[in-house]
Amino acid sequence: MQNLEKFREKIYVCNRTTDGYCLYRCPEYNLKGFESYGARGRMYIARGLLEDRLEIDASLVDRISSCLSCGYCTQRCAFDLTEIFEALKWDLVDAGKGLDKYLQLGESIKENHNPYFKRQKDRLAGIKEKIKPTKGAELLYFTGCASAYQYPTIAQSTCIILNELGPNYQVLGEEWCCGFPLIRTGQVGLAKEIAEHNLEIIKASGASQMVFSCAACYRTFAKDYPERLGLEVNFNSFHITEFLSREFEKHQPTFKGKLEGKVTYHDPCHLGRHMGIYQQPRDLLQNVPGVDLVEMEENKESARCCGAGGEVVKFGYPEMTLELAKKRIEEAEACGAEIIASTCPFCYGNFKDTVKNTGAKLKVQDITEIISQVI
């Protein structure tokens, strides 16, 4: 438990001021109900492991692995609880007790450099027609595996917007998975290896600014590489919504089209609670002609997780993910929205699946898709 050990003091003073606030609206605890599925219980489990009172059995692996890392508990605590539970996941992997499903993702990343069991050489196949790259440009668009392989319209839309706005940019093609699924599931050793590869090729590209259309990749580069993996990062990272907000402030674009309808914005956990970006996506949407932005009951810091848990939990616990996504879709419908917009491919994919599954009459769009339609 060497990673958990670093948090020993915090684990012992858990509940020191406000007892169990972390459970309030915790998506998983409220779905499954036993304390072990919420932060307060997981802190007891962590303590049990540190004191050698608990054995790592299948149930314990399940209780820890199913944490969505959504950060809802951290919002109500003095500590970064997500960091503690990810340290625990790391120790489970080190003890040879990682969740099989998550380890499969690791295998795919090791072999294919993406978690989708796809070929590395096809990474840019979905956006080939759209990109207008400039070799050596200062700005580098890191597509990320999800936008590249699973939801290429997000990467395509991002390229369309960048083309219209006019900054020179590069897209690599030799990059590997950012390592997000590995860090979230405790496979940190492998994450470091692939991060080093990514940093090497970015250095060689000469880029000094990175832009991400994926909330997860953005968090990983901006926070995990320097803080969790201890790597030196020599460039600035921006989420696409941050980047576009800044660009639009400098030069307000001329929109050629108009969007009709009520749009609600779903804050992705890894962009909102994890990185503190709430306003820029809203500003961008409000800037689009015809958009009537409406808020769901739970928004910003209190936004309900879509349930995908960075898509790793979706891979490990598909039924729970679907249940949680249904709740968020219901919330979007209740506020009168016709479109649910997000800016994370995992939320996007999860909502698309859920809408298909439930027959909800809600259109799911990434913010880049919305802007690319009208710019």
Partner 1 sequence: MNITRSSSPDVRAIEDVYEEIERVVGEEGITSEACDRACYTRDWGPLPTSQEYLPDLVVRPRTTEEVSEIVRLANKYRIPVVPRGGATSMQGGCVPLKGGIVIDTSTMNKILEIDEDSRLVRVQTGLLIRDLNEELEKRGLYYGDRPASWIRTTVGGRISVNGGGAFGPRWGRAIDQVISLEVVLPTGEIIKTGSKVYEPSAGYDLTRLFLSSEGTLGVITEAILKVYPKPACRKVDMILYPKWEGMIRNIGRMLQAGLAPEIMTCHDGTRYRHYIEKKLLEEGKEVPEVAPDVGGILIGFAGREELVEAQRKTMAEVIKEDDGKLGDPEVANLWWETRQGMPFNPWPKTQEKKRFATIDFAVPIGKIGPVFRLYLQLSKKYKLEMYGGGTFHNAPDMFPTLTFAMFIDQRDQTEYERWLKYVEEMAHAAIEAGGTIAGISGVGSIKAPFFKDQYDGSTFEVIRKIKNVFDPNHIMNPGKKFTR
Chain residues binding partner 1 by CB under 8 A are: 9, 12-13, 15-21, 23-24, 32-36, 40-41, 44-45, 47-48, 51, 53-55, 57, 59-60, 63, 76-78
Shortest approach of partner 1 to residue 151 CB, angstroms? 33
Which residue lies nearer to partner 1 by CB, 51 or 260? 51
- Strands, DSSP E only, in the chain? 139-142, 169-170, 209-212, 236-239, 261-265, 291-294, 339-342, 363-366
63 or 184, CB closer to partner 1? 63
Q: How far apart are CA 124 and CA 129, in angstroms?
A: 9
Please state the closest distance from residue 351 (CB atom) to partner 1, in A.
25
Rounded to 5 degrees, φ, ψ at 170 are: -115, 155
Whether the CB-CB separation of 245 and 211 falls below 8 Å is answered with no
Query: Nearer Cβ to partner 1, position 43 or 371?
Result: 43
At 204, list the tokens: 């060689």
Select 53 or 203, whichever has its Cβ closest to partner 1: 53
- Minimum distance of partner 1 from residue 18's CB (angstroms): 6
Helix 240-250 to helix 152-165 angle, to the nearest 10 degrees? 20
Shortest approach of partner 1 to residue 317 CB, angstroms?
15
Residue 64 · residue 92 · CB < 8 Å: yes
Give least dist CB 328 to partner 1, A.
18
Closer to partner 1 at the Cβ: 106 or 186? Answer: 186
Q: Considering just the CA atoms, what is the radius of gyration of the chain in Å? A: 20
Name the 3-class secondary structure at 265: strand
